[in-house]
């Protein structure tokens, strides 16, 4: 499986020291530090429980998935209290990697040795399948459809949570804005950030999602290099970092804030009203499944884009480039034309 | 008693009473007694105010006496005391009062009167100290006329010839690089400035000037640093220049205002250059960048102007009009240019915003392209390798494929072996690390504990050392005091006498106890004998009575026995009575002696006299009041 990059083991001992103790093939020191910082044993809640035993996020060009559990085997080591397996890979599929990590964890607990884990990992690599210890089952990579990862978290609750303001989220995703999400709970954060790109399904780009970022220079510099992203933070002081976002979403309080410098991109027009109406309809309709809702929104978006393309048709019938003049000819309102021009730029339909 | 009297007299003398003629308490007069009490009370009670002389009027005398008595009571004197104690009392009571007062005197009163020589010494020392302090506080500048001069390494004082002249000093500098400055240059005083001018002493004045200039520079720098604002970013030099020019401009402006220069403008700017320009009559600009020659040229020309007054006057208006037109033209051109430029700016801004908008998507496209490139490269590489392997014929391809599989298998096996070995090592090492960390932590804890203990011990040591020092100091002090105090030997004699008296008292006590025990013994014997006698008599009485009933001759015997018993009984009674009366007599005699000592009769007489006097005075006063 060419998507797998590396696997590693993080241990926490009786002195509360968390270390990266084993990796295959290799991992950079900076990535190791990042993983140690993000792993569940490092982030304990007030009652000394894991915030979330399974954490995934995106950074340094890799998706990393971590599964932690308590460990109490004196044969292996008298000092280790928690272990956490992490996998680095290039693709986004939390459910697949969750199953893989579970299986690897089981083999480790069974055999008390990392060698068997390595064997299983290599078999994954070569045979694209994994024998699950303790059962006769076999985990097959091919049974995991990448597209299912996109729709694993439902969109309707998101729209219902923010109501009519979810049009701002739609606008942000469509116009490729920088979105910063804050939540006090990690689970909600991970779920929310991976759902947002569904609003711009026609691009099918989940590499802009950074579900779990800390306000640390190391991570922020690589984040800032991205032109647009959906980044999730557990630290509420990120709201003060206006330089990091064009729109700020607070899941805990269900509020959306837009800073001054980005207000021009969020001026809503008639098209927005239509889409907002559609979104509310679709979300409130209990008869429709989530997939259907997503499809309808996607259809509408595609319609809008094809309309835009058709605004400028060259002599041979193919759609040409959009420019301000063409929009002025159609006598759209100022906000409408601004929006359409921005959309066109984002879709690559404009020319200087 | 003599000792007590002597002590009383000596302490009263120390307090200041005139007791030179008095040797014992019996020589004390009422006035002396009162003066003594008043002095004692002033020493004891801080705010006690009373005249030492007894007033003439009896009433006042009584009042004074009562006041003194009250004060004594307030101090805690137990015993009867009143105005009569001071005015009419006897020696015993005076003695008691004085003893009480002297015991209540604070120790300072003793010391204050103590060694008269020591107090004089202390006073002298204090006076000297004050004089020295005063002289040090005055700033005494050495008389300028008398300045030291070193000649032949001896310091002589010479008169200077008048004005202070300073010279630049060459200070020897051990840090400098030059050998001369470091080693050769002699100290300042030995540097002969001018051998011929031995009588001209520049050193003091030069030193003063050098040091004061350094101090002034330092103060100035501090002031400038304080007032230096960061936004100007000036260094001290430019700031100094600024301040200097400002001051100069102000001064000149004030001067100008004072003299009312005619050719000046009404509003004078603060800038120095403007002020200076206003000085020039033709309003020509300041020299500035011109060279000296150009300036002088101008000066020359300005001077020659008045020679041809007529010609410039006529043509004066024309050049003014021309210049005005020129200026207007310039203005128009400039406004046109401004409009053009602002247009350009607007258009450029539009372009900028457009370009900015397109940056985003182009960047994205770039990134996508880069990603695709990387992936394609990988693909190409792997495909190339595969092609190489599969290059030849079908069999070769199969062989290569088999070989590749072998290689992969061996690699996997090796990986496994290595990972097993590494696993063992890794576990060992991590256990070691964690074990060592544990021991390190425990040893750290122990270390902390021990350092804490050490600190505590050190502090204790320090405290003990401080206490030790304090105690040493007090020891030295007390020793000094002991040596100072140990001059009079009377105390030891007093103590010796006290010890003797105590021994005597003890002996007397023993003797008294002996006597008492003898007396008790006697009394016991008497009682026993009395008892015996009684019993014998009763027995005899019975027997003889019985016998007498039978035999009549024994009746006489019986009668004799009875009379014998009764007469002896009388004798013993009378002896007892005489003993008791003798004791009574002794008591009365003692009482008589006591009363005699109280001198009650004389006091009564004087009191009667005083009473009559008082009555007379009252009558007189009543008459006076009635007369008013």
CB contact (8 A) between residue A77 and residue B427: yes
Residue in chain B closest to A119 (alpha carbons) equals: B416
Q: Closest to B412 (Cβ–Cβ): which among A115, A122, A345?
A: A122
Whether the per-residue pLDDT at B63 is higher than 60: the answer is yes
Question: Among candidates A310, A313, A315, A340, which has minimal Cα distance to A328?
Answer: A340
B306 pLDDT tier (thresholds 50, 70, 90): very low
CB contact (8 A) between residue B360 and residue A227: yes
Mean pLDDT of B589-595: 91
Whether the per-residue pLDDT at B303 is higher than 50: the answer is no
Which of A10, A14, A24, A79 is the mutation pick for testing B, counting most B CBs within 10 A?
A79
Helix, strand or coil for residue B170? Answer: coil
Residue B621, both tokens:
């006063």
Please give the model's pTM, rounded to 2 decimal places: 0.51
Q: Are strands A129-131 and A138-140 parallel, antiparallel or unpaired?
A: antiparallel
Predicted pLDDT at B310: 45
Helix, strand or coil for residue A351? Answer: coil
- Chain B: nearest CA to A187, how far in angstroms? 30
Any idea which of A29-43, A283-297, B26-40, B251-265 has the lowest mean pLDDT?
A: B251-265
Predicted pLDDT at B234: 54
Whether the per-residue pLDDT at B465 is higher than 90: the answer is yes
Predicted pLDDT at A321: 65
Predicted pLDDT at A256: 92
CB contact (8 A) between residue B419 and residue A114: yes
CB contact (8 A) between residue A227 and residue B364: yes
Whether the per-residue pLDDT at B581 is higher than 90: the answer is yes
Question: Which helix (H) or strand (E) element contains residue B155?
Answer: strand B154-159
**How many Cβ pairs within 8 Å bridge chains A and B?**
62
Contacts of A348 in chain B (CB under 8 A): 361, 365
Residues 138-177 of A with CB under 8 A from B: 176
**B203: Cβ–Cβ under 8 A, 6 or more apart, which residues?**
B147, B148, B188, B189
Tokens 């001064």 belong to which residue? B251
The 10s digit of each residue's pLDDT in B43-55 is 888 777 777 777 7
Predicted pLDDT at B283: 44
Whether the per-residue pLDDT at B443 is higher than 90: the answer is yes
B113 pLDDT tier (thresholds 50, 70, 90): very low
B114 pLDDT tier (thresholds 50, 70, 90): very low
Question: In the structure, how many helices (H) and strands (E) does chain A have?
Answer: 12, 12
Helix, strand or coil for residue B183? Answer: helix
Predicted pLDDT at B401: 82
B195 pLDDT tier (thresholds 50, 70, 90): low
- Residues B410-447, buried b or exposed e (16+ Cβ, 10 A)? eeeeebeeebeebbeeebeebeeebeeeeeeeeeeeee
User: What is the average pLDDT score of chain B?
Assistant: 80
CB contact (8 A) between residue B430 and residue A77: yes
Of chain A, the end-to-end C-alpha distance in Å amounts to 43
Mean pLDDT of A91-109: 89
- Chain A: nearest CA to B415, how far in angstroms? 9
Residue B143, both tokens:
């008389």
Contacts of A11 in chain B (CB under 8 A): 430
- Residues A200-226, buried b or exposed e (16+ Cβ, 10 A)? bbeeeebbbbbbbbbeeeebbeebeee
Domains of chain A from N-terminus onward = 4-148 (3.30.450), 151-266 (3.40.50.11500), 270-346 (no CATH)
Measured CA to CA in angstroms, residue A233 lies from A37, A187, A237, A241, B89 at distances of 14, 12, 9, 12, 105
Predicted pLDDT at B44: 84
Residue in chain B closest to A348 (alpha carbons) equals: B361
**B19: Cβ–Cβ under 8 A, 6 or more apart, which residues?**
B9, B12, B13, B32, B36
Range among A95-109, B299-313, B515-529 rated most confident: B515-529
User: How many Å apart are CA A142 and CA A323, to the nearest integer?
Assistant: 45
B305 pLDDT tier (thresholds 50, 70, 90): very low
Comparing B106 with B426, the larger pLDDT belongs to B426
**B72: Cβ–Cβ under 8 A, 6 or more apart, which residues?**
B37, B41, B81, B97, B100, B101
Give percent of chain B above pLDDT 90: 29
Which of B374, B407, B427 is the mutation pick for testing A, counting most A CBs within 10 A?
B427
Mean pLDDT of B211-234: 74
Question: Among candidates A146, A219, A149, which has minimal Cα distance to A191?
Answer: A149
Give percent of chain B above pLDDT 70: 79
Predicted pLDDT at B284: 46
Question: CA B372 from chain center: how many Å?
Answer: 82
B309 pLDDT tier (thresholds 50, 70, 90): very low
Helix, strand or coil for residue A247? Answer: strand
Residue A222 and residue A152 in contact, taking contact as beta carbons nearer than 8 Å: no
User: How many Å apart are CA B361 and CA B358, to the nearest integer?
Assistant: 6
Residues 222-281 of A with CB under 8 A from B: 227-228
Q: Is B360 part of the contact surface with chain A (CB cutoff 8 Å)?
A: yes
Predicted pLDDT at B163: 58
Predicted pLDDT at B8: 85
The 10s digit of each residue's pLDDT in B350-382 is 888 877 777 777 887 888 899 899 989 999 998
Q: Is A125 part of the contact surface with chain B (CB cutoff 8 Å)?
A: no
Tokens 């991590």 belong to which residue? B430
- ipTM confidence score: 0.78
Beta bridge partners of A256: A249
**B165: Cβ–Cβ under 8 A, 6 or more apart, which residues?**
B200, B202, B205
User: What is the average pLDDT score of chain A?
Assistant: 85
Any idea which of A70-84, B12-26, B430-444 has the lowest mean pLDDT?
A: B12-26
Any idea which of B162-176, B307-321, B350-364, B612-626 has the lowest mean pLDDT?
A: B307-321
CB contact (8 A) between residue A176 and residue B438: no
């Amino acid at each position: 499986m060419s998507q797998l990059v590396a696997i590693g083991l993080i241990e926490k001992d009786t002195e509360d020291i968390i270390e990266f103790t084993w990796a295959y093939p290799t991992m950079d020191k900076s990535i190791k530090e990042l993983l140690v910082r993000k792993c569940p044993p490092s982030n304990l809640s007030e009652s000394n429980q894991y915030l979330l035993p399974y954490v995934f996020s995106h950074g340094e060009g890799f998706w990393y998935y971590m599964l932690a559990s308590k460990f109490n085997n004196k044969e292996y080591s008298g000092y280790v209290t928690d272990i956490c397996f992490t996998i680095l890979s290039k693709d986004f599929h939390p459910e697949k990697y969750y199953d893989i990590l579970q299986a690897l964890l089981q083999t480790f607990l069974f055999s008390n040795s990392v060698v068997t884990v390595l064997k299983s990992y290599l078999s994954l690599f070569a045979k694209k399948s994994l024998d699950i210890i303790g059962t006769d089952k076999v985990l097959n990579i091919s049974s995991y459809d990448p597209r299912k990862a996109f729709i694993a978290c439902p969109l309707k609750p998101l729209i219902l949570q923010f109501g009519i303001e979810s049009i701002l989220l739609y606008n942000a995703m469509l116009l490729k804005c920088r979105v910063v999400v804050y939540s006090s709970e990690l689970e909600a954060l991970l779920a929310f950030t991976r759902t947002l790109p569904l609003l711009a399904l026609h691009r099918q780009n989940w590499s802009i999602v950074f579900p779990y970022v800390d306000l640390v220079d190391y991570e922020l510099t690589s984040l800032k290099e991205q032109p647009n992203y959906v980044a999730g933070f557990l630290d509420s002081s990120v709201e003060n970092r206006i330089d990091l976002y064009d729109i700020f979403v607070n899941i805990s309080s269900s509020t959306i804030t837009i800073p001054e410098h980005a207000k021009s991109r969020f001026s809503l027009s008639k098209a927005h009203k239509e889409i907002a109406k559609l979104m509310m309809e679709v979300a409130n309709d209990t008869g429709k499944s989530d997939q259907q809702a997503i499809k309808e929104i996607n259809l509408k978006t595609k319609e809008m884009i094809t309309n835009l393309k058709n605004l400028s048709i060259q002599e041979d019938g193919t759609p040409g480039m959009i420019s301000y003049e063409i929009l002025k000819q159609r006598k759209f309102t100022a906000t409408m034309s601004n929006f359409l021009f921005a959309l066109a730029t984002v879709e690559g339909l404009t020319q200087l | 008693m003599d000792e007590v009297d002597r002590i009383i007299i000596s302490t009263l003398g120390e307090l200041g009473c005139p007791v030179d003629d008095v040797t014992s308490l019996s020589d004390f007069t009422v006035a002396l007694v009162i003066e003594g009490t008043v002095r004692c009370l002033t020493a004891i009670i801080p705010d006690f105010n009373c005249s030492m002389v007894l007033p003439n009027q009896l009433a006042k005398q009584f009042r004074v006496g009562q006041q003194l008595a009250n004060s004594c009571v307030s101090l805690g004197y137990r015993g009867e005391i009143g105005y009569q104690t001071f005015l009419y009392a006897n020696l015993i009571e005076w003695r008691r009062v004085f003893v009480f007062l002297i015991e209540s005197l604070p120790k300072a009163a003793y010391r204050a009167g103590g060694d008269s020589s020591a107090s004089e010494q202390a006073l002298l020392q204090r006076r000297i100290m004050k004089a020295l302090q005063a002289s040090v506080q005055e700033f005494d500048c050495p008389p300028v006329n008398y300045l030291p001069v070193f000649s032949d390494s001896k310091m002589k004082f010479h008169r200077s010839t008048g004005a202070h002249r300073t010279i630049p000093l060459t200070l020897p500098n051990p840090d400098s690089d030059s050998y001369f400055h470091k080693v050769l240059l002699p100290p300042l005083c030995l540097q002969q400035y001018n051998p011929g001018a031995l009588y001209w002493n520049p050193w003091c004045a030069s030193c003063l000037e050098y040091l004061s200039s350094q101090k002034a520079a330092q103060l100035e720098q501090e002031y400038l640093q304080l007032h230096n604002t960061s936004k100007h970013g000036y260094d001290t030099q430019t700031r100094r220049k600024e301040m200097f020019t400002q001051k100069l401009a102000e001064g000149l402006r004030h001067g100008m205002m004072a003299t009312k220069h005619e050719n000046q403008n009404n509003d004078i700017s603060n800038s120095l250059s403007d002020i200076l320009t206003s000085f020039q009559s033709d309003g020509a600009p300041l020299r500035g960048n011109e060279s000296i020659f150009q300036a002088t040229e101008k000066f020359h020309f300005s001077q020659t102007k008045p020679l041809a007054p007529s010609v410039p006057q006529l043509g004066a208006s024309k050049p003014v009009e021309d210049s005005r037109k020129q200026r207007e033209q310039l203005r128009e051109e400039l406004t046109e240019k401004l409009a053009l430029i602002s247009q350009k700016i607007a258009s450029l801004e539009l372009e900028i915003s457009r370009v900015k908008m397109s940056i985003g998507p182009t960047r994205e496209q770039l990134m996508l392209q880069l990603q695709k490139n990387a992936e394609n490269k990988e693909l190409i590489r792997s495909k190339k390798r595969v092609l190489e392997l599969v290059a030849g014929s079908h069999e070769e391809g199969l062989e290569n494929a088999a070989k590749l599989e072998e290689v992969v298998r061996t690699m996997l096996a090796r990986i496994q072996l290595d990972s097993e070995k590494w696993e063992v090592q890794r576990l060992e090492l991590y256990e070691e690390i964690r074990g060592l960390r544990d021991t390190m932590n425990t040893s750290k804890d122990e270390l902390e504990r021990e350092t804490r203990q050490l600190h505590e011990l050190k502090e204790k040591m320090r405290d003990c050392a401080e206490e030790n020092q304090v105690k040493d100091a007090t020891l030295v002090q007390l020793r000094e005091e002991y040596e100072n105090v140990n001059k009079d030997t009377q105390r030891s004699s007093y103590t010796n006498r006290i010890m003797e008296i105590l021994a005597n008292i003890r002996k007397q006590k023993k003797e008294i106890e002996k006597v008492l025990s003898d007396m008790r013994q006697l009394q016991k014997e008497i009682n026993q004998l009395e008892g015996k006698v009684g019993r014998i008599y009763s027995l005899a009485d019975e027997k003889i009575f019985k016998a007498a009933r039978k035999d009549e001759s024994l009746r006489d015997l019986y009668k004799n026995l009875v009379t014998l018993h009764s007469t002896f009984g009388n004798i013993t009674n009378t002896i007892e009575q005489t003993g008791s009366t003798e004791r009574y007599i002794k008591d009365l005699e003692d009482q008589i002696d006591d009363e005699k000592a109280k001198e009650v009769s004389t006091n009564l007489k004087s009191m009667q006299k005083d009473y009559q006097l008082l009555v007379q005075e009252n009558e007189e006063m009543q008459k006076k009041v009635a007369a008013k």
